[in-house]
């Protein structure tokens, strides 16, 4: 099934969105993604990852 998913369609239709719409979508997606990245990783996730890796949590955290 993986091969079918990666295979290009022979009669694929061209994109229906214009370049300007694609550019605007790209800008909005980047802005949203940047906001999420800026939030950082919650402490509970960091603690969980440290426990999985076998590291002890640092003092003060």
Dihedral (CA of 11, 17, 19, 23) sign: negative
Residues 33-57 pLDDT 10s: 998 888 888 999 999 999 999 876 5
Residue carrying structure tokens 């906001």: 35
pLDDT digits (tens, 9 = 90+) for 13-22: 776 889 999 9
Distances, alpha carbon 13 to alpha carbons 8, 24, 26, 47, in Å: 11, 22, 21, 48
Could you give the CA distance from residue 43 to residue 47 in angstroms, rounded to a whole number?
A: 6
Q: Which residue would you say has higher pLDDT here, 45 or 10?
A: 45
Residue 31 has pLDDT above 60, yes or no: yes
Query: Domain coordinates of the chain in residue numbers?
Result: 17-53
């Amino acid at each position: 099934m993986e091969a079918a998913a990666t295979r290009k369609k022979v009669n694929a239709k061209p994109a229906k969105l214009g370049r300007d719409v694609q550019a605007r979508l790209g800008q909005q997606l980047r802005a949203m993604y940047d906001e999420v990245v800026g939030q950082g990783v919650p402490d509970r996730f960091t603690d969980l990852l440290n426990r999985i890796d076998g590291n002890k949590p640092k003092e003060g955290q």
